[in-house]
Amino acid sequence: MTTPLDPEMFDPVCPSDLMPFRVGDKWAGMIIQCLAYGPRRFSELRVPLRSVTPKVLTQSLRALERDGFLVRTVQAGPARHVEYALTPLGRSLLELLDAARAWAEEHLEEVLDAREAASKDGRLR
């Protein structure tokens, strides 16, 4: 069994919509990060992704499966459940996401300052 996901894995102060790079939808990068160390059940993914609704999480998981980034496996038996795991294609995104996260951490203040300035000027929203 894999180690439980940290509920604080994603800082709520740094929402994903600040990330200038995205793979798939708003939640895809975070889902991929959650699956980095092995398969997870839907309920496990909900722990660090508590701000996403179950409907949207399901939609994101389906889109990632459709695009070949993850595989959905139904575990048979008395305690039937579904697990999601990265495919080799999905795993290939981990290094890219790590680089994007490092860039975002380094430049977060600049992005926030630019957005605030544009908002004050009434330019872009």
User: Taking CA 116 as the corner, what is the angle to CA 120 and CA 16, rounded to the nearest 5 degrees?
Assistant: 140
Please write the tens of the pLDDT for every residue from 3-51: 887 777 666 655 555 555 556 788 999 999 999 999 999 999 999 999 9
Domain positions in the chain are 16-121
Which phi and psi (to 5°) does residue 80 adopt?
Answer: -60, 130
Please write the tens of the pLDDT for every residue from 46-89: 999 999 999 999 999 999 999 999 999 998 888 889 999 999 99
Q: 67: burial class by Cβ within 10 Å (0-12, 13-18, 19+)?
A: middle
Task: Please name the fold of domain 16-121.
Answer: Arc Repressor Mutant, subunit A (1.10.10)
